[in-house]
A and B are shown apart, each in its own frame.
Chain A
Amino acid sequence: MKVSTQLFIGVFLAFQLILPLRFYVIDNLDERFAWRMFINPHHKTCTPQVTVTAHGQEHHVDPVEILHPAWISNIQENRPEIIEPYLVRLCDEPGVDSVVLVNNCTPIGQPTDTSVYSHDCSEP
Chain B
Amino acid sequence: MKQGAEILIDTLIEEGVDVIFGYQGGAVLPIFDLLYRTKELKVVLVRHEQAAAHAADGYARETGKVGVCLATSGPGATNLVTGIATAYMDSIPIVALTGQVPSTMIGNDAFQEADIVGITRPITKQNYLVKSVEDLGKIVKEAFYLARSGRPGPVLIDIPKDVSTGKCKSLRLGAVSIRSYNPTHKGHPLQIKKAAEAIAKAKRPVIYAGGGVILSNAADKLKELAEKTQIPVTNTLMGLGGFPGTHPLSLGMLGMHGTKYANFAISEADLLIAIGARFDDRITGKMDEFAKGATIIHIDIDPSEISKNIKCHIPIVGDVGQILEELNKIAEPPEISEWLSKIFAWKKGYPLTYKDDDQLRPQYVIEKIYELTNGEAIITTEVGQNQMWAAQYYKFDKPRRFLSSGGLGTMGYGFPAAIGAQVANPKATVFDIAGDGSIQMNIQELATCVQEKLPVKIAILNNQYLGMVRQWQELFYDKRYSHTDISVAPDFVKLAEAYGILGIRVEKKEEVTKAIKEAIAYKGPALLDFRIVREENVFPMVPAGAALTQMMDGIA
> Does B associate with A?
no
